[in-house]
């Protein structure tokens, strides 16, 4: 190696070594010694030593938090294709904080400006601080959220853009307890499983106000923006969509297994199989329909162009799926007529099977319409607001005017959470009006 080559090598080594050193985990034992000396309560399991100044209360669940953390840890490893056994010795040190002064006095909350005056939590390498929450479910969520940061910062040496850093923390922290045990629910099926979490409600409020973000807006979130709830919520939504959508999950996982550095957006865009335009449209469709129980294996949209409708066409619509492409292209401004027949099952109530015909049943309503009602829509991208499905017709028969040049989509009205126990469907005839 020439002197010049050696010098270049040395410079490269120094530059790449700096962030590695910054990701080295803190030693946990000395911090535990400080905590015990200050008389703080310590609860431990394999991967987490948790210290708190909160007085023990019956059923506060705090003693069980390290075990919960241990149960989540293998899921985080698996997400990145890592073997949990290879990270057996990895530990985080968490402070669950009631009174910040007690932690400052114990030497466990730096006053040198290295830890900001956080609202909910803050993570530095494998150390994190968490402001106590009155709701146990939300306390668990925030603990795991900071835990994911500790994991990605040290094990994955992450220095990724804000949307990914916060989105993956939200995605991997979201869980419910089943018989007291951790179960990941990256897209929760019921609000009651994730009390006070509120990300879906936030995104639905944005949608109702016509203010839901485009994927490009989320990918460009500035570093401080994660402090506001809509930014957290949309970062979660971006990671949830890309991780679980059948068309994007494989390319996204490949990008995630590469460096999680500042150039992550560029790396993702360049990953073989990643289609940015398709992801942007699928993200818009995801936010348009997002609700508890949203399951991309049932709700992913087929955007195939289809063929022009010259004469009458008969297409099936299944009760257990979201928007279904009828394979028929309409012309903007032209009138069409439709007629639907058939009977579908919408699940059971007690021992009774709920059945519906295309007008729907008034047993329950979803998004202002009876469940079981046939809905006819088009994907609408102009008209000012964000893109979305616009319902052009509903019920058993009638006529409508096409809003756009493009495919027509059909579905049977019910909440995403209610689709899994549905069966059968309707047959729909669509024809240009003569």
Choose among 149, 194, 198, 192: nearest CA to 172: 149
Comparison of 23 and 391: residue with beta carbon closer to Zn ion: 23
From the CB of 165, what's the least distance to Zn ion, in Å? 7
Pick the closer one to Zn ion by CB: 172 or 404: 172
Site size toward Zn ion, by CB under 5 A = 2
Binding marks (x or -) toward Zn ion, 168..207, rule CB under 5 A?
-x--------------------------------------
Q: Closer CB to Zn ion, residue 67 or residue 166?
A: 166
- Judged by CB under 5 A, the chain residues 227 through 286 that form the site for Zn ion are none
**169 or 242: CB nearest Zn ion:** 169
For the CB of residue 46, give the shortest distance to Zn ion in the complex, in Å: 23
Distance in angstroms (rounded) separating the CA atoms of residues 331 and 344:
30
Nearer to Zn ion, 166 or 282 (CB): 166
Binding mask 7-46 for Zn ion (x = CB under 5 A): ----------------------------------------
Q: What is the dihedral of CA 69, 73, 75, 76, to 10 degrees?
A: 110
Nearer to Zn ion, 48 or 169 (CB): 169
Instruction: Write the binding mask 398 to 427 for Zn ion: x where contact by CB under 5 A, - elsewhere.
Output: ------------------------------
Residue 107 or 186: which CB sits closer to Zn ion?
A: 186
At closest approach, how far in Å is the CB of 101 from Zn ion?
24
**CA neighbor of 248 nearest in space, from 285, 213, 200, 223:** 285
129-168 footprint of Zn ion as x/- string (CB under 5 A): -------------------------------------x--
Q: How far is the CB of 249 from Zn ion (least distance, A)?
A: 23
Least distance (Å) between residue 363 CB and Zn ion: 42
Least CB distance to Zn ion at residue 44 (A): 23
Instruction: Specify the residue, 50 or 169, whose C-beta has the smaller distance to Zn ion.
Output: 169
Q: How far is the CB of 67 from Zn ion (least distance, A)?
A: 22
Nearer to Zn ion, 119 or 208 (CB): 119
- Closest approach, Cβ 226 to Zn ion, in A, equals 6
**Residues 160/264, Cβ–Cβ less than 8 Å:** yes
Residues 412, 211, 279, 240: is their CA dihedral positive or negative? negative
CB of residue 156 vs Zn ion: minimum separation in angstroms? 15
Residues at the interface with Zn ion (CB under 5 A): 166, 169
């Amino acid at each position: 190696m020439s002197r010049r080559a050696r010098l270049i090598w040395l410079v490269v080594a120094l530059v790449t070594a700096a962030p590695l050193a910054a990701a080295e985990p803190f030693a946990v034992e000395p911090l535990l010694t400080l905590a015990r000396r200050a008389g703080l309560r310590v609860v431990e399991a394999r991967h987490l030593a948790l210290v708190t100044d909160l007085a023990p209360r019956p059923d506060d669940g705090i003693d069980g938090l390290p075990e919960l953390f241990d149960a989540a840890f293998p899921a985080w490893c698996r997400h990145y294709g890592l073997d949990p056994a290879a990270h057996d010795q990895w530990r985080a040190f968490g402070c669950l904080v009631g009174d910040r002064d007690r932690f400052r006095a114990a030497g466990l909350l730096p006053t040198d400006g290295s830890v900001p005056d956080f609202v909910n939590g803050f993570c530095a390498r494998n150390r994190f601080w968490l402001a106590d929450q009155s709701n146990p479910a939300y306390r668990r969520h925030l603990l795991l959220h900071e835990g994911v940061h500790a994991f990605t910062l040290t094990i994955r040496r992450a220095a990724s853009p804000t949307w990914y850093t916060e989105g993956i923390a939200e995605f991997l922290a979201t869980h419910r307890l089943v018989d007291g045990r951790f179960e990941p629910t990256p897209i929760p099926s019921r609000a009651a499983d994730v009390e006070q979490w509120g990300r879906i409600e936030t995104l639905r409020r944005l949608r109702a106000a016509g203010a839901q973000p485009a994927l490009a807006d989320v990918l460009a979130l500035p570093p401080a923006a994660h402090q506001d709830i809509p930014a957290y919520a949309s970062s979660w939504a971006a990671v949830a969509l890309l991780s679980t959508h059948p068309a994007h999950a494989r390319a996204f996982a490949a990008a995630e297994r590469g460096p999680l550095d500042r150039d992550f957006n560029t790396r993702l865009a360049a990953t073989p199989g990643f289609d940015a335009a398709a992801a942007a449209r699928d993200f818009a469709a995801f936010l348009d329909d997002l609700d508890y129980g949203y399951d991309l294996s049932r709700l992913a949209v087929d955007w195939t162009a289809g063929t022009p409708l010259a004469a009458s066409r008969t297409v099936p619509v299944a009760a257990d799926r979201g928007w279904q492409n009828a394979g028929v292209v309409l012309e903007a401004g032209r009138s069409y007529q439709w007629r639907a027949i058939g009977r579908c099952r919408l699940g059971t109530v007690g021992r009774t099977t709920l059945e519906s015909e295309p007008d729907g049943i008034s047993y329950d309503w979803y998004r202002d319409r009876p469940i079981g009602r046939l809905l006819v829509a088009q994907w609408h991208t102009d008209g000012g607001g964000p893109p979305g499905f616009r319902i052009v017709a509903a019920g058993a028969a009638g006529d409508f005017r096409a809003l756009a040049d493009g495919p027509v989509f059909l579905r049977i009205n019910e909440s995403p959470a209610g689709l899994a126990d549905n069966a059968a469907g309707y047959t729909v005839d669509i024809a240009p009006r003569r």
